[in-house]
Amino acid sequence: MRLKHLLELLLLSAVWGASFLFIKLAVPEFGAFALVFVRTAAAGLILLPIVYLRGNLLRIKEYWQHILVLSLLASSIPFSLFAYTAEHVTTGFASILNATIPIWTVLLGLLLFSEKVSKAGLLGILLGFGGVWVLCGDDAMSLSVSITLPVVAALLATLMYALTGFYHKRYLVDVDPIVTAAGCQTFAAITMLPLAVLYWPNISPGNTAWGAAVVLGIVNSGLAYILMFRLLKSIGIVRTVLLTYLMPVFAIALGYAILAEPITMAMLIGGGLILLGVGLATGVVVLPDRGSGVED
């Protein structure tokens, strides 16, 4: 991997790590659906003029069906699910659950695309979901009576993110990342509009909530998605999802520093198990004796 790509991964990790903080600041006043609409609309409004100036607006029309599907997998559905999760758990908790994306990627590759997985990879999948189980036992990270639904919502969101990589690789890998990102966020805003109108908050959100929502849209969704699709095209799915290693670090640090959220032993143990599982599943961490039987 080139230094340029490594730096881009670090940048994207920091930006998306901060997104959990912005969601946390905005969702209590907006609600999940209204926040996702504002987020995706802001992203579309900043990206569409760029696409127009580059003379590529018709490319969105050319690939609109695949971009629409991608907008559901990468934006509308997972954004809504994580917004719901953020209302009930701490920032660090949500970011660690997000780190299960590579585990889903490997599992989907095995189950749906018959990709070979090593014994270490299978162990990584088990460790990853074992880490989720550990996290669920920590009441200090829960802001609601029951943590089950928020965890399930987050895991469904990360499953959608994993599917995004496969769908992008099959149908849109040769499309300009800016075109994909602009179309994806614009279609997401359109699909979220009816729900946003229906569930728009009765009390107008404050300046902090609006600021967090707009930054979340322009930076964390618009500009960051250009970078993500570019990385998917240049270094592939498996390497791109490695950014999940650093995202929880940024999110936990921001949650602790700005929101005074606790850093618990369960968070460290559960997060450690998930990241170790990610390392084994993606081949970044190699066991001393790889053995035989299941091919890499």
Residue-wise pLDDT for 24-34, tens only, equals 999 999 999 99
- Rounded mean pLDDT of 76-96? 91
Tally Cβ neighbours within 10 Å of residue 151. 21
Residue 296 has pLDDT above 80, yes or no: no
Closest CA to 237 of 273, 281, 198, 269: 281
Which run of H or of E encompasses 285?
none
Q: In the predicted model, what is the mean pLDDT of the chain?
A: 86
Contact yes or no for 22/211 (Cβ under 8 A):
no
The model's confidence at residue 67, banded by pLDDT at 50, 70 and 90, is: very high
Domain locations in the chain as residue ranges: 3-282
Q: Residues 44, 238: contact at Cβ < 8 Å?
A: no
- Tell me what pLDDT residue 139 has: 60
- How confident is the model over 261-293, as pLDDT tens digits? 888 888 889 888 988 888 887 777 777 764 544
Decide if pLDDT at 61 tops 80. yes
Mean pLDDT of 43-66: 93
Instruction: Give the pLDDT band of residue 13 (cuts 50, 70, 90).
Output: confident
**Whole-number pLDDT of residue 169:** 86
